[in-house]
């Protein structure tokens, strides 16, 4: 009789947690682009982004402090402020605004250029990676895909300025993610995430007030409240916490594979649930960007 080894309870629990965490960053993050579109249809974009991250940040930060994590020092708060400005304000402010004009599926594809932009920053500016032929080819392929998406053609064409705003936001996120490696940040990643989201959300709400989005105070319908609640719970608290949890347990390149899964989920949801138009040009540009991201992450 052949003996089949079985996982003990601890190993089984760890395996289930890992599967659930990947489900969160693959599927839940992919669905947030449609939720953002629903939110900005009824709420001012900066207000919606600020409400999402400030609420999620407060909850996560308070939870980690309740668990006994030490509060950040003054220098760490300064680093967290820079991180929040680059990775939440400059990234998600333009992205929420752009979703008023660009289909959510296309927004997810443009946001998926994060690994491409990060690679360029590491190679050309920070000199942290060498320019290898395969990586150079993959980078060019990604930019060709973006160009295919943005070049006007046929009856369906994308608003250029919002698309450029998304790419600019992706650049600031990439810069922030690279700079955080040398920043003085708290040891606890969940505490860091909560504090950065809290600061970023506060800055976005301040900008919202400065641009007059709160005069009068936005009327939050049940539909908008549902979209915001989904973004706070599933997009920020669950998916982002799962992302941080996975980063502590496996290579970053494996965790970053969500970059070429999220757009597939977002494009499919936009088509089937929101009636977003998918043309051959959009499919071609999407395919080129996702192949580029796949090659870059695989080589990394």
Model confidence at 32, pLDDT cuts 50, 70, 90, reads very high
Is pLDDT above 80 for 161?
yes
Is pLDDT above 90 for 300?
no
Q: What percent of the chain has pLDDT over 90?
A: 56
> Mean pLDDT over residues 72-99, rounded?
95
**Alpha helices in 159-251, H assignment, sequence order:** 160-179, 189-210, 222-230, 239-247
Q: What per-residue confidence (pLDDT) applies to 1?
A: 46
Model confidence at 267, pLDDT cuts 50, 70, 90, reads very high
Distances from the Cα of 129 to the Cα of 105, 168, 211, angstroms: 31, 22, 40
187: closest CA among 89, 84, 68? 68
Please count the residues of the chain: 300
Is pLDDT above 60 for 81?
yes
Is pLDDT above 80 for 226?
yes
As a whole number, the mean pLDDT across the chain is 88
Q: Which residue has the higher pLDDT, 9 or 61?
A: 61
**Alpha helices in the chain, H assignment, sequence order:** 9-23, 29-42, 45-66, 74-84, 90-98, 104-111, 114-120, 133-150, 160-179, 189-210, 222-230, 239-247, 252-255, 262-274, 280-299
CA 274 vs. chain centroid, Å, equals 21
Q: Give the model confidence (pLDDT) of 120-132 as tens digits.
A: 887 776 666 666 7
Q: What are the structure tokens assigned to 169, written together?
A: 């936001």
Q: What per-residue confidence (pLDDT) applies to 8?
A: 66
pTM of the model: 0.88
Is pLDDT above 60 for 298?
yes
Mean pLDDT check: name the lowest of 33-42, 71-80, 165-174, 291-300: 291-300
Q: Which residue has the higher pLDDT, 34 or 8?
A: 34
Task: Give burial (CB, 10 Å; 0-12/13-18/19+) of 106.
Answer: buried
Q: Which residue has the higher pLDDT, 241 or 65?
A: 65
Q: What per-residue confidence (pLDDT) applies to 2?
A: 46
239: closest CA among 37, 10, 43, 56? 56
16: closest CA among 202, 276, 242? 242
Q: Which range, 99-113, 233-247, 253-267, is most confident?
A: 99-113
Return the DSSP state at 300. Answer: -
Helix (H, G, I), strand (E, B) or coil at 278: coil
> Mean pLDDT over residues 109-117, rounded?
88
């Amino acid at each position: 009789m052949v003996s089949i080894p079985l996982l003990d309870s601890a190993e089984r629990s760890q395996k289930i947690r890992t599967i659930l965490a990947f489900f969160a960053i693959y599927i839940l993050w992919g669905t947030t682009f449609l939720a953002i579109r629903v939110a900005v249809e009824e709420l001012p974009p900066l207000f919606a982004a600020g409400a999402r991250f400030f609420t999620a940040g407060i909850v996560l930060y308070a939870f980690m402090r309740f668990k006994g994590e030490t509060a950040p020092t003054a220098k760490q708060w300064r680093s967290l402020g820079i991180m929040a400005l680059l990775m939440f304000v400059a990234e998600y402010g333009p992205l929420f605004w752009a979703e008023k004009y660009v289909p959510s599926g296309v927004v997810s594809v443009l946001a998926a250029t994060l690994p491409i932009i990060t690679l360029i920053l590491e190679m050309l500016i920070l000199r942290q990676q060498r320019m290898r032929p395969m990586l150079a080819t993959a980078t060019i392929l990604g930019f060709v895909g973006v160009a295919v998406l943005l070049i006007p053609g046929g009856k369906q064409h994308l608003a250029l300025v919002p698309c450029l705003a998304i790419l600019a936001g992706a650049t600031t996120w990439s810069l922030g993610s690279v700079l955080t490696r040398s920043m003085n940040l708290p040891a606890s990643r969940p505490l860091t995430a909560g504090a950065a989201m809290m600061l970023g959300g506060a800055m976005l709400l301040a900008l919202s007030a400065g641009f007059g989005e709160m005069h009068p105070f936005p009327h939050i319908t049940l539909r908008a409240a549902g979209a915001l609640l989904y973004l706070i719970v599933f997009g920020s608290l669950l998916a982002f916490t799962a992302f941080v949890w996975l980063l502590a347990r496996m290579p970053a390149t494996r965790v970053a594979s969500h970059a070429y899964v999220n757009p597939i989920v977002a494009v499919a949801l936009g088509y089937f649930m929101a009636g977003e138009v998918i043309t051959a040009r959009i499919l071609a540009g999407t395919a080129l960007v996702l192949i580029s991201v796949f090659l870059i992450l695989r080589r990394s």
